[in-house]
Chain A
Amino acid sequence: MNIVVAIKHIPSIADDLPVKGNNVDFDSVDFVLNEFDEQSIEQAVLVKEAVGGTVTVVGVDMIGELDGVLHLALAKGADKAVKITGDDPAADSHQQAKWLAEAIKGMSADIVFVGVQASNDLDGQIGPMIAAHLDMPYIGGVSSVEVTGETATVNKEFAGGVGAKYAVTLPMVVGVQASVKPPRYAPVSKVRQVAQTATIEKVAPSGDAGSGLTFKKMAPPVVTGHAEMIEGSSKEVAAKIVELLKSKGLV
Chain B
Amino acid sequence: MAGPIKAKYVEKEHAVVDGVDISGHWNRMFEPRTIFEYTPELIEKVADIPGGESFANCYQCAKCIAVCPVDIVGNYGPRKLYRYAQTGMDLTEAPELWLCTTCKNCLRVCPKEVDMIQIMPAVREQAILTGKFVPPELQQAFENTAKTGNPLGQPQRKRDAWIQSAGVTIPIIKDVARPVDVLWYVGSYPSYHPRGIDAASAAARIFSALEIDFAILGKEEKDDADSQRLAGEKGLFEMMTEYNIETFNKYEWKELVVTGPHELNAFKNVYPKHGFERPVVHYTTFLARYLDRLKPLLKHRVEKKITYHDPCYLGRHNGEYEAPRKLLEAIPGVELVEMQRNRENGYCCGGGGGGMWMDSFTAKHTTMRLSEKRAMEAASTGANVLAVACPFEVSRFTDAVKSTGNEHVDVLDILELLDKSMRGE
State whether these chains interact: yes
B157 close to A188 (CB less than 8 A)? no
CA distance A190 to B130 in the complex (A): 11
Cβ of B146 within 8 Å of any chain A Cβ, yes or no, is yes
B131 touches A188 (CB 8 A): no
Judge whether B235 is part of the interface by a CB distance below 8 angstroms: yes
Cα-based distance from A187 to B158 in the complex (angstroms): 26
Q: Does B155 touch A at the CB level, under 8 Å?
A: yes
Partner of A14, one of B134, B136, B142, B155: B155
Of the candidates B154, B158, B235, which one forms a contact with A190 in the assembled complex, judged by CB atoms under 8 Å apart? B235
The A-contacting residues of B in range 211-265, CB under 8 angstroms, are 233-236, 238-239
Q: Which residues of A contact B143 (CB under 8 A)?
A: 185
Q: Mark A161-186, 1 if CB is under 8 A from B, else 0.
A: 00000000000000000000010110
B155 lies within 8 A of A182 (CB): no
Question: Which of A12, A14, A184, A188 gathers the greatest number of chain B CB atoms within 10 Å?
Answer: A188
A98 to B147, CA, bound (A): 29
Give the contact-size bracket for chain A: 10 to 19
B395 at the interface (CB under 8 A from A): no
Kindly provide the distance from the CB of B159 to the nearest chain A CB, expressed in whole angstroms: 11
Q: Is the interface of A mostly helix, strand, loop or mixed?
A: loop
Q: Which residues of B contact A185 (CB under 8 A)?
A: 128, 134, 139, 142-143
Chain A residues near B125 (CB, 8 Å)?
A: 187
Task: Let me know if B129 is at the binding interface, CB within 8 A.
Answer: yes
- Is A188's CB under 8 angstroms from B233's CB? yes
Kindly report which residue of chain A lies nearest to residue B134, judged by CB atoms. A185
The answer for the CA separation of A188 and B155 in the assembled complex, in Å, is 20
CB distance from A140 to the nearest CB of B (A): 26
Nearest B-chain residue to A14, judged by Cβ: B155
A12→B157 CA distance, assembly (Å): 12
In angstroms, Cα B131 to Cα A187, docked, is 9
- Give chain B nearest CB distance to A42 CB in angstroms: 13
Interface centre among A15, A185, A187, A190 (most CB of B within 10 A): A187
* Contacts of B132-174 to chain A: CB distance below 8 A: 134, 136, 139, 142-143, 146-148, 153-158
User: Which chain B residues border A182 with CB–CB below 8 Å?
Assistant: 136
Assuming the contacts A14-B155, A15-B155, asked whether A188 and B235 have C-beta atoms less than 8 A apart, the reply is yes
Q: Taking A14-B148, A192-B235, A192-B239 as contacts, is the C-beta distance between A187 and B129 under 8 angstroms?
A: yes
Chain A residues with CB below 8 A from B155, complex form: 12, 14-15
Closest to B140 in A: A185
A187/B235 in contact, CB under 8 A: yes
Interface contact B157-A15, CB-CB below 8 Å: yes
Q: Is there an interface contact between B147 and A187, defined as CB atoms closer than 8 Å?
A: no
Give the CA-CA distance A187 to B136 in the complex, in Å: 13
A188 touches B236 (CB 8 A): yes
CB distance from B217 to the nearest CB of A (A): 18
Contacts of B236 in A (CB 8 A): 187-189
B148 cross-chain contacts in A, Cβ below 8 A: 14
**In the complex, which of the residues B153, B154, B156, B233 contacts A187, with contact meaning CB atoms closer than 8 Å?**
B233
Inter-chain contacts of A32 with B (CB < 8 A): 147
Distance in angstroms from A45 CB to nearest chain B CB is 12
Cross-chain contact of B234 among A12, A15, A184, A189 (Cβ < 8 A): A189
The docked-state distance in angstroms from the alpha carbon of A32 to that of B144 is 13
Bound: A189/B232 CA distance, A: 11
User: How far is the CB of B147 from the nearest CB of chain A, in Å?
Assistant: 7
**Separation of A15 and B159 alpha carbons in the complex (Å):** 11
Nearest residue in B to A12 (C-beta to C-beta)?
B155
Whether B239 lies near A187 (C-beta < 8 A) is: no
Q: How far is the CA of A14 from the CA of B149 in the complex (A)?
A: 13
Q: Which residues of B have CB within 8 Å of A188? A: 142, 146, 233, 235-236, 238-239
B157 touches A189 (CB 8 A): no
Residues from chain A with Cβ under 8 Å of B235 in the complex: 187-192
- Report the minimum CB–CB distance from A194 to chain B (whole Å): 11
Chain A residue at minimum C-beta to C-beta distance from B234: A189
A184-B139 Cα distance, complex, nearest whole Å: 9
How far apart are A159's CB and chain B's nearest CB, in angstroms? 28
Please measure, in the bound complex, the distance between the C-alpha atom of A32 and the C-alpha atom of B146, giving whole angstroms: 12
Q: Are A189 and B158 in contact (CB under 8 A)?
A: no
Given A187-B129, A187-B236; 9 other pairs, CB 8 A cutoff: A14-B153, A15-B158, A30-B156, A185-B134, A185-B143, A187-B128, A188-B142, A189-B235, A189-B236
Chain B residues engaging chain A, CB cutoff 8 angstroms: 125, 128-129, 131, 134, 136, 139, 142-143, 146-148, 153-158, 233-236, 238-239
Could you list some 13 contacts between A and B, CB below 8 A? A14-B155, A15-B155, A15-B158, A184-B131, A185-B128, A185-B134, A185-B139, A187-B233, A187-B235, A188-B233, A189-B236, A190-B129, A192-B239
Residues of A within 8 A of B (CB): 12, 14-15, 30, 32, 182, 184-185, 187-192
Q: Which 6 A-B pairs have the closest CB atoms?
A: A189-B235, A188-B235, A15-B155, A188-B236, A185-B139, A14-B155
